[in-house]
Structure 1
Amino acid sequence: MRTHLTPLILAIAALGATAAQAQAPDASMIQLGSDIPAKWKKPEAGYDFVRREAMIPMRDGVKLHTVIMVPNQARGLPMLLERTPYDADNFVKKDQLTLRDTVGAAGREWVDDGYILVYQDIRGKYGSEGKYVMTRPPIGPLNPTKTDDTTDAWDTIDWLIKNVPESNQRVGMIGSSYDGWTVTMALLGPHPALKAAAPESPMIDGWMGDDWFHYGAFRQVNMDYFSGQTSKTGKGEKTPRAGGDDYQAFLDVGTAGNWAKQNGFDQLGFWNRLSAHPAYDAFWQGQALDRAVAAKPSSVPTMWLQGLWDQEDIYGAITAWEALKAKGKAGNNHLVLGPWYHSQVNRSAERLGPLKWKGDTAADFRRDVLIPFFNTHLKDRKPAEPTPPVLVYNGSENRWDKFSDWPGATSLTPIYLQADAGLSFQAATPGEDSYVSDPAKPVPFLAPPISFSERDRWTSWLLQDQRPLTTRTDVLSYKSPVLTSAVTVQGSPFADIYAKTSGSDGDFVVKLIDVYPASVAEQPEMGGYELPVSMDIFRGRYRQSFEHPTAIPAGVVQQYKFRLPPVNWVFKPGHRIMVQIQSSLFPLYDRNPQTFVPNIFFAKPEDFQKATISVQRGAAGASAVLLPVVPASTAVK
């Protein structure tokens, strides 16, 4: 038996040895390191562009993260620079083979026309070094350092023209909102290579009428922006809500100061500075860029853009343009007022709220006006038509109007409040109309429930039908007879309200409204629609001085006169003109306690009191809205 088993045993042993040898790891397999290479170079075959990233040094040694998108075979192309706090990496998609697919909708026309696109994180945000300061003021009393966004733009452009060999060493700057602010800052001391600029909806004066306040009334909608922008170097988080209704949430908390305290805003430097300066003092005056550009006007060809229904920055572009015009610099500064919400110039714009346009007004404008303007100065390519000094959309007649100057009206025509809720160009008989303003029941700017995060409602709130408010007893509505002839307005209306109050402070909201006929065959949903054409809010304590607020004497008639946003509109036959007056626009704007306190941010619950507001008519108290009426359009044919 042993003789027969021995070969089998030997065979099994041999097989075991072979298996062991097969299972033994190669020496290279047991030298484990990282599966991630020290430097990964992605193959670029198939891409029609090259993406470069650079940390561009500023004069103080801080380096700013910059993304440069260069088309393949580029030679002698201009550069388009956008400086942003919103993450330069976010402006260009990754893992796309074509530059057109990489950029957003507004960038594709620039790609097609042949531009090198440059996006840069401003200092202290996302990939850039340094300390972030919200809308860092120009070098001076409010900024004792030797750098600001003027010097940072200069240093960036200087580096680009020396380090991007595919360029023609000419740079244009563009950007909307905060990015429009960075464009404006660059114009305060422009690099010689900066040949054209377009601040779009720029934040120019945060107290008078852009993001933070309107004539002293605080825009609470920006509380989320403060935490989102300044709580982290990257993107911060929104303030959490207990429910889905911002109207109730802000009403329950009482004041913006209470909201800030409950949500840790005492850690945020910008909130602390803003809340310590509720009036238009040196803090705000020193960073108002309309004043700054007028003091240092540049010769850079500039196109100032703004939406006629811009829900965020409806003040800055036209105000900066007017300041430059007053300095004799209208020749190189152009004004464009489009039929857009905030930054819609960079999106599709076939409609706005209930209004429908002829085609995509934003894309058409970018292709036919904006890019040819840049090409004139960056490519020496003359446009088919010279860029008009002023271009304003006429929403009522659905067309662009060109002007040699703005406003079209040379004087203002009062339309007076009348008895029995009437409105007329004729003087009114003396009288008054009263309402009770109750801070516990503020007038909403949209029908509750309200969520600031609802984009569609937020972008169109300035065009919302005002009919739901006409039944409120704390809203006065004055309506003209049915018009038998057109009333054309071109310019900025003024509210001129005479009123007395039983309180010692108070706000005034004034709206100019186009009331449509009961039946509109072409668009039935517009039948009876009350369309706001222009509106704004004014905090009563600033009626005598924006810098030095004073209590309103109870029971004494006071004048409240303030400018409303610009219009280019025709009130057509069959329509009516309406003016509405109220004392709150909540929760977009904080509530006025209607008791004079040093700082409304920190008003106490007992400060909030009902007040009877009596609006005057006729004689010495001839309340009116002053309209920039023209006998016919002054547009250039």
Structure 2
Amino acid sequence: MANEAKSSTTAGSFESNQDKLSKPRYGVLIAKDVMVPMRDGVRLAADLYFPAIDGKAVEGRWPSVMQRTPYNKSDVHYGGHAEYFCKRGYVGIVMDCRGRFNSEGDYYHFIYEAEDGYDTCEWIGRQTWSDGRIGTFGVSYGSQVQSAMATQNPRNLAAMIPTEGPSNIYEYGLRHDGAFQLKFLTAGFWFGLMSQEARDNPAIRKALEGARMGDWLWRLPLKRGQSPLALIPNYESFVIDFMTRGDHEPFWDQPGFNIEAHYDEHSDVPTYLVCGWYDSWPRAMFIHFMELSRRKKGPIKILMGPWIHGDDTVELTYSGDVDFGPEASLQGNLAEHRNAWRLRWFDRWLKGIGNGVDEEPPVKMFVMGGGSGRRNAEGRLDHGGRWRDEYEWPLARTQYTNYYLHPDGTLSPQSPGSNGSPSGYLYDPNHPVPTISGSLSGLAEIVPMEAGVHGDPPPMTRLRNLAVQGAMHQAEYPGGFACKPPYLPLSARQDVLSFQTAPLEQNIEVTGPITVKLWASSSAPDTDFTAKLLDIYPSSDDYPDGYHMNITEGIVRARYRDRSGKAKLLEPGAVYPFEIILEPTSNLFQAGHRIRVDISSSNFPRFDINPNTGEPVGQHTHSVVAHNKIFHDSRRESHIVLPVIPE
């Protein structure tokens, strides 16, 4: 019998752990730009933060806490983390990844991180100040570098906190079941603006500063040699590789890209995974959790909040336009702040301090929902939620329940009749469904410097999102990318099919992995199918039109429908089964609300637009309108599988 879930009483509960944390007993002595040799002779720049007293490094051997980053180790953000741990008896290490900022070598997204991470661990272990125990943490790219390094099983690695990172960039990283995430195109541009080449050549910097991503996204596919990225060939190379290498090949199984292919070799060390329901990577992080828990002693744990992507977002109570209540923040609920939360993990496994973190349940997750539904003082929807501890994922008590898509637009556990006619729509690549908000990150452009602004603000401080991260009412709005007047709800579009339940008679909790199983056809040889799960609030004084809150979403590219990694075009008009895997979630749909599923064929600019032509991905010459149909009769029962948790 599975262990029973336990609701967490979070407010103030961390205070009993404060006395067991390492105290700030030391000053800090920094050694800047220490060049660490890799196996191929390239040297990577690291800043080392040594515990000190009266300005002198304290003699002895220390555990190390390391961050490796492509975003500039000299940023106060990274130095602040390193100083925090240094003052508490660790050597803090922050390293620029290969080809970035003060490190040597050429940069290519992710590809060198496994070997470079391993070589760095080996170097640390040989230093006279090292006690041979290394802990790592980092967010986003800083998560991927940890996992890639762990595939090499470095002997000095002792604990990890990977936060918000991918596990397999081909399957659901830079691609999602075939569709390309355009964040990896936009990131190529703003990574390029932060490159050594742009730093050293004002002309390159100026060209990239002038690149408006909003314009380039409408001009796809990107042509080699015909954009500002051509000025930085290695950056252009990885972007075009990512956009055009659609079929699976050995290239995608390199440890810098595909952690899943190397789980057997992966380090068996205590690992705490961190992510948010509205981050880009909950599916990937739960795969890490399940696979590492099955193969390793660990312990392996996971923390999943209602958060969006980012380091400091774990200390917020809201995502997008929706607030989840005072319990939602890590700060003040689970720990004093995020570094104190990390310190407890590192103290246990790098210093052997018995603080009880290893005895806690392996899953701590935030169940969204249960709020008042009113507009709060900050103008956000009060959706509410609470923390809960669990002992496995997916939850053993889950009741997987089919909700069927009916021809009349209803969604219910009852299967459709034998004579249900298909629902159809026209998908025009020139008029895609706009990404209002969602589980996204990095989909941003650099805001140009305003006249009269002095100094040189780092590009990372001038990023402007092209879509809202998190939850938001799903309607077009002024200023929204690809949004147009009269700014109606997405459900009013002819190319969005909406299926919703009657108002719920009782609360329904949905927690776990979610799939939509479609029977569909297209007039085109290739197209996309998207699915979105929404919590529909009824009309109220604060929201007279109700509130259509996005919970999770997914996409599949038709040519990759069988997940073999090899393109198989459609026979126009033929009916095929499709499975759309949505990001996992946890939400309480309250009585009086409706559960809705939206089906369409685009979600732009989160994903690239399928031109419907069947040409090689990322190389199309034109587009055509597709007539797509969804079938829901007794032989072809299109439905969503909801992981319902009994009360």
Please indicate, yes or no, whether the TM-score normalized by the shorter chain is above 0.5.
yes
190-199 or 577-586: which moved more? Answer: 190-199
- Residue 129, structure 1, aligned to residue 104, structure 2: yes
Choose which of 173, 177, 188 in structure 2 pairs with 1:215. Answer: 177
Query: Which residue is equivalent to 2:217?
Result: 250
Contact 2:518 2:578 in 1 (8 A): yes
The code of the aligned residue for 1:501 comes to S
Q: CA deviation at 1:627?
A: 0.8
The code of the aligned residue for 1:539 comes to R
Query: Which residue is equivalent to 1:405?
Result: 392
Q: CA deviation at 1:261?
A: 3.1
Give the whole-Å Cα distance in 2 for the aligned partners of 1:526 and 1:68.
56
> How is 1:2-401 mapped onto 2 (pairs within 5 angstroms)?
48-53=27-32, 54-73=34-53, 77-91=62-76, 103=80, 110=85, 113-136=88-111, 148-163=112-127, 165=129, 168-210=131-173, 212-229=174-191, 232-233=195-196, 246=214, 249-251=216-218, 253=219, 255-258=220-223, 261-265=226-230, 267=233, 268-287=236-255, 288-310=257-279, 312-326=280-294, 328-329=295-296, 331-344=298-311, 348-353=315-320, 354-358=322-326, 361-363=329-331, 364-365=333-334, 366=338, 369-385=341-357, 386-397=359-370, 398-401=385-388
Give the whole-Å Cα distance in 2 for the aligned partners of 1:256 and 1:476.
28
Q: Secondary structure at the match of 1:566?
A: strand
Contact 1:431 1:617 in 2 (8 A): yes
Q: Secondary structure at the match of 1:419?
A: coil
Contact 2:364 2:389 in 1 (8 A): yes
Q: CA deviation at 1:257?
A: 2.7
Q: CA deviation at 1:235?
A: 6.1
Contact 2:181 2:608 in 1 (8 A): yes
Q: CA deviation at 1:90?
A: 1.8
Q: CA deviation at 1:379?
A: 1.6
Give the whole-Å Cα distance in 2 for the aligned partners of 1:432 and 1:238.
52
Contact 1:501 1:555 in 2 (8 A): yes
Query: Which residue is equivalent to 2:486?
Result: none
Q: Which runs of 5+ in 2 are unaligned?
A: 1-25, 200-204, 371-384, 438-442, 448-462, 476-488
Query: Which residue is equivalent to 1:44?
Result: none
67-76 or 229-238: which moved more? Answer: 229-238
Contact 2:613 2:620 in 1 (8 A): no
Query: Which residue is equivalent to 1:31?
Result: none
| Residues 1:512 and 1:164: Cα distance change in structure 2 (over 3 Å) | farther
Contact 2:96 2:102 in 1 (8 A): yes
| Residues 1:452 and 1:560: Cα distance change in structure 2 (over 3 Å) | farther
| Residues 1:456 and 1:362: Cα distance change in structure 2 (over 3 Å) | farther
| 4+ residue segments displaced more than 6 Å | 241-245
Higher fraction of helix: 1
Q: CA deviation at 1:272?
A: 4.0
398-407 or 125-134: which moved more? Answer: 125-134
Query: Which residue is equivalent to 2:440?
Result: none
Q: Secondary structure at the match of 2:138?
A: strand
Contact 2:495 2:600 in 1 (8 A): yes
Q: Secondary structure at the match of 1:374?
A: helix
Give the whole-Å Cα distance in 2 for the aligned partners of 1:298 and 1:244.
42
Give the whole-Å Cα distance in 1 for the aligned partners of 2:583 and 2:144.
19
Choose which of 472, 484, 505 in structure 2 pairs with 1:484. Answer: 505
The code of the aligned residue for 1:423 comes to L
The code of the aligned residue for 1:381 comes to I
Choose which of 573, 583, 603 in structure 1 pairs with 2:620. Answer: 603
Contact 1:241 1:249 in 2 (8 A): no
Query: Which residue is equivalent to 1:529?
Result: 547
Give the whole-Å Cα distance in 1 for the aligned partners of 2:364 and 2:411.
31
Contact 2:183 2:444 in 1 (8 A): no
Q: Secondary structure at the match of 1:322?
A: helix
189-198 or 562-571: which moved more? Answer: 189-198
The TM-score with structure 2 as length reference comes to 0.78
| Residues 1:407 and 1:108: Cα distance change in structure 2 (over 3 Å) | farther
Choose which of 551, 563, 566 in structure 2 pairs with 1:548. Answer: 566
Q: CA deviation at 1:421?
A: 1.2
Contact 1:493 1:626 in 2 (8 A): yes
Q: CA deviation at 1:58?
A: 2.6
Q: CA deviation at 1:414?
A: 0.9
User: Which structure has the larger Rg over C-alpha atoms?
Assistant: 1
Q: Which runs of 5+ in 1 are unaligned?
A: 1-46, 94-101, 137-147, 633-637
The code of the aligned residue for 1:378 comes to L
Give the whole-Å Cα distance in 2 for the aligned partners of 1:118 and 1:612.
55
Q: Secondary structure at the match of 1:477?
A: strand
| Residues 1:278 and 1:618: Cα distance change in structure 2 (over 3 Å) | same
Contact 1:184 1:289 in 2 (8 A): no
The code of the aligned residue for 2:249 comes to D
> How is 1:487-636 mapped onto 2 (pairs within 5 angstroms)?
487-519=508-540, 524=542, 528-597=546-615, 599-605=616-622, 608-632=623-647
Q: CA deviation at 1:48?
A: 3.5
- Residue 463, structure 1, aligned to residue 471, structure 2: yes
| Residues 1:289 and 1:423: Cα distance change in structure 2 (over 3 Å) | same
| Residues 1:519 and 1:304: Cα distance change in structure 2 (over 3 Å) | same
Give the whole-Å Cα distance in 2 for the aligned partners of 1:513 and 1:491.
15
Q: Secondary structure at the match of 2:267?
A: coil
Contact 1:50 1:72 in 2 (8 A): yes
| Residues 1:485 and 1:550: Cα distance change in structure 2 (over 3 Å) | same
Identity %: 25
- Residue 425, structure 1, aligned to residue 413, structure 2: yes
| Residues 1:369 and 1:49: Cα distance change in structure 2 (over 3 Å) | closer
Q: Aligned-residue CA RMSD in angstroms?
A: 3.0
Q: CA deviation at 1:570?
A: 1.2
Contact 2:27 2:87 in 1 (8 A): no
Contact 1:346 1:362 in 2 (8 A): no
| Residues 1:464 and 1:344: Cα distance change in structure 2 (over 3 Å) | farther
Give the whole-Å Cα distance in 1 for the aligned partners of 2:297 and 2:466.
34
The code of the aligned residue for 1:174 comes to F
Q: CA deviation at 1:519?
A: 2.2
Give the whole-Å Cα distance in 2 for the aligned partners of 1:400 and 1:188.
32
Give the whole-Å Cα distance in 2 for the aligned partners of 1:64 and 1:451.
28
112-121 or 541-550: which moved more? Answer: 112-121
Q: CA deviation at 1:112?
A: 6.4
Cα displacement string for residues 321-373 of structure 1 (whole angstroms, at most 9, x for unaligned residues): 223234x3265222222221112456631221212331562334436753322
Cα displacement string for residues 551-603 of structure 1 (whole angstroms, at most 9, x for unaligned residues): 11111111110321111111111111000011111123221111212x13111
Give the whole-Å Cα distance in 1 for the aligned partners of 2:85 and 2:544.
37
Q: CA deviation at 1:546?
A: 3.9
User: In the comparison of the two structures, how many residue pairs are matched?
Assistant: 550
| Residues 1:480 and 1:280: Cα distance change in structure 2 (over 3 Å) | same
Give the whole-Å Cα distance in 2 for the aligned partners of 1:116 and 1:297.
25
| Residues 1:360 and 1:558: Cα distance change in structure 2 (over 3 Å) | closer
